[in-house]
Amino acid sequence: MGDIIQLLPDHVANQIAAGEVVQRPASVVKELLENAIDAGATQISLVLKDAGKTLIQVSDNGKGMSATDARLSFERHATSKIKRAEDLFQLTTKGFRGEALASIAAIAQVELKSKQEQDELGTCIKIKGSEVESQEPCVTQKGTIIGVKNLFFNIPARRNFLKSNQVETRHVIDEFQRVAIAHAQIGFSLHHNGNELFNLPATNARQRIVHIFGSKTNEKLVPVSEETELINIEGFVGKPAYAKRTRSEQFFFVNNRFIKSPYLHHAVNAAFEGLLPDKAQPSYFLFLSIDPKRIDINIHPTKTEIKFDDEHALYAILRSAIKHSLGQFNVAPILDFERDSSLDTPYDLSKKEVQVPQIEVDRNFNPFDTEKQAASQSAAKAMAFNRHTAKKNAAWEALYTQIDEQLPETKIEVESEEVTGNLFGQQQQDLSGDSVFQLQKKYIVCPYKNGMLLLDQNRAHTRILYEELLRNITVKAAVSQQLLFPLSLQYNAIEVDMLSNLREHLEQIGFIFDSIDTSEVSISGIPTLINESEVSILLDQLLADFEHEIPDSGFLQTDVFAKSMARSMAVKNGSVLAKEEQLAIINSLFACKEPQICPNNKKVFVRLEVEDLEKNFR
């Protein structure tokens, strides 16, 4: 049997490496932006066409490359960042493996122009599928301009796996924001299909965050600062009152490199324990500076995961630093043993005006006449008691008078338990109110011919709303209620873009938008099924569901939209329902096409047959 092991050709090896480095256009954007930062650029421009599928162009004013370096930069494992294996544990730059440009050139058409400051002419290189088509001198500006065209042109199968332009654009914006936040001292700009999405001047970290996520973000940020021998922590966390259901504002940076760390995320959540509403996510922008020898960043192809040599100590430091900042800025209670609590002014007295005390003198007082003194004191006490009693009686009498005037013939009833409002309106009921009841504020029990039904009220209402929303979207017959004052909600650029894409669906179920700007959404009408106070919570949940993936086809997108809205609007377990509401849920559920399962394919009700009950009494 002959030899069967052979060396792979270079272009095949590069395409295999590209599978690890380049997953989508956002991967190319990340590599090119990091190369520009390593080149010492102070201004970086990113231009996209068709979410990067047609063109990704990055221009910088860095130090540029010579003709030889420009050619070698496309060779595998060619890098200026490391020379020895020990250098892997002393990295201060972004790229270091020397595979990025070689991998990109293997699956795209690349054109690079670069010039150093002392040179009169630059170099222009054109590469297509790892093959150099031309290299010649050219006139260009100082720095580097690299354009990547027709990504995956020679691997159609990989190109077919790309998502819609909308999804790919959002991934590119995510990578752009991560790099821009970590390097506030560099100016960045982003253009997509001729439209300017971001124009970020060089500034400090706080202003960079505000420029990206909107002017309202400034008031939400709480500074965090901690210096230890192990690590230095700088950055900001969001106030708990502004917490959202999405994770779009959560950033960890280690030595100015964005990372993902569930362990550190848990430390942040531990610091916010007891301060956040249910299912809300804290916002944070944290910059960790640590000795490069204490971390290993070469454990993941995309370098978004880092291994620390002492994670437990880092966890404790991060949690305590955030807790201290929240307490220091009066966001959360804090113990301060150096403060004298006796000097604190009660909160309800802090804004009251100072009143001058009045002095009353008894001019008939005789210290030697003990009998008269005792009699006068007892008389004064009796007069004061009578005045106080008369004043209280007068107040109570006035209260009853007002009630009698307002409700002359009404009967006041006190409810033993708070119940929710009417959910569905009046309709003909098939069951009597005495035959159904609520169990554990979660289940609705009702009899039927051969036994009884046990319904999950949340899942049943979700199924009802899901089919109603699909019907409204299809027929476009939803009813809106106008708001007396338009509702203004603040969102970041990505969330505004998502709402713009979902605007048509939202309008079909009853929302009316006055405007959708870069950071603010104005709503003048809402569906009749929800209250004004629930709009923000409902939209936050919708954005959370669409945060990671938006289905490509219109039907799937509509289905995901209807499921998310129904889940947010449905009555929650733990809510007390009136008899009419219980009956309405039962009748509406069995009018649905699929009453047995909720939209998430979970059972809505169970049947308890008489035979099953009798078995328990044998």
The pLDDT score that the predictor gives to residue 183 is: 94
The pLDDT score that the predictor gives to residue 148 is: 94
Query: Cα separation of 337 and 7, whole Å?
Result: 70
In this structure, is the dihedral angle defined by the CA atoms of residues 366, 367, 369 and 375, taken in order, positive or negative? positive
Q: Is the pLDDT of residue 475 over 60?
A: yes
Helix, strand and coil in the chain, % to nearest 5: 40, 20, 40
Confidence tier at 87 by pLDDT (50, 70, 90) = low
* Mean pLDDT along residues 77-102: 63
Indicate the class that CATH gives domain 207-328.
alpha beta
Q: Are 59 and 191 in contact (CB under 8 A)?
A: no
| DSSP H helices in 350-369 | none
Question: What is the pTM assigned to this prediction?
Answer: 0.70
Q: Mean pLDDT highest for which of 89-93, 119-123, 468-472?
A: 119-123
Q: Which residue carries 């010492």 as its tokens? A: 40
Burial (0-12, 13-18, 19+ Cβ within 10 Å), 244: buried
The pLDDT score that the predictor gives to residue 85 is: 58
pLDDT tens by residue, 403-448? 445 544 444 454 444 444 444 444 334 455 567 888 888 999 988 7
The pLDDT score that the predictor gives to residue 57 is: 95
Residue 476, CB-side half-sphere exposure with 13 Å CA sphere: 3
The pLDDT score that the predictor gives to residue 146 is: 94
Kindly state the tokens that stand for 144: 């580097």
Ranges 75-84, 503-512, 609-618: which has the least confidence:
75-84
Q: Mean pLDDT highest for which of 75-84, 257-266, 390-399?
A: 257-266
| Domain 433-608, CATH homologous superfamily name and number | MutL, C-terminal domain, regulatory subdomain (3.30.1370.100)
Residue 160, CB-side half-sphere exposure with 13 Å CA sphere: 3
Confidence tier at 293 by pLDDT (50, 70, 90) = confident
Burial 360-394 (b: 16+ CB within 10 A, else e): eeeeeeeeeeeeeeeeeeeeeeeeeeeeeeeeeee
* Mean pLDDT along residues 217-238: 91
Relative to beta strand 221-227, strand 480-490 is unpaired
DSSP state letters, 520-584:
EEEEEEEETTS-GGGHHHHHHHHHHHTSS---SSHHHHHHHHHHHHHHHHSPPTT----HHHHHH
* Mean pLDDT along residues 193-209: 91
Tell me which of 356 and 377 has the higher pLDDT.
Answer: 356
Kindly state the tokens that stand for 529: 């099924």
The pLDDT score that the predictor gives to residue 195 is: 87
Architecture of domain 10-202: 2-Layer Sandwich (3.30)
pLDDT tens by residue, 434-443? 678 888 889 9
Q: Are 228 and 314 in contact (CB under 8 A)?
A: no
Q: Is the pLDDT of residue 152 over 50?
A: yes
* Mean pLDDT along residues 273-302: 82
Confidence tier at 378 by pLDDT (50, 70, 90) = low
Q: What one-letter code names the amino acid at 203? A: T
The structural domains of the chain, with segments of one domain joined by +, span: 10-202, 207-328, 433-608
The pLDDT score that the predictor gives to residue 425 is: 41
Ranges 107-121, 193-207, 510-524: which has the least confidence:
510-524
Confidence tier at 554 by pLDDT (50, 70, 90) = low
Query: Cα separation of 68 and 470, whole Å?
Result: 61
Confidence tier at 2 by pLDDT (50, 70, 90) = low
pLDDT tens by residue, 381-394? 556 555 655 555 55
Confidence tier at 333 by pLDDT (50, 70, 90) = low
Confidence tier at 101 by pLDDT (50, 70, 90) = confident
Helix (H, G, I), strand (E, B) or coil at 289: strand
Ranges 1-5, 233-237, 296-300, 347-351: which has the least confidence:
347-351
* Mean pLDDT along residues 500-506: 84
Helix (H, G, I), strand (E, B) or coil at 497: helix
Q: Is the pLDDT of residue 245 over 70?
A: yes
Q: Is the pLDDT of residue 502 over 50?
A: yes
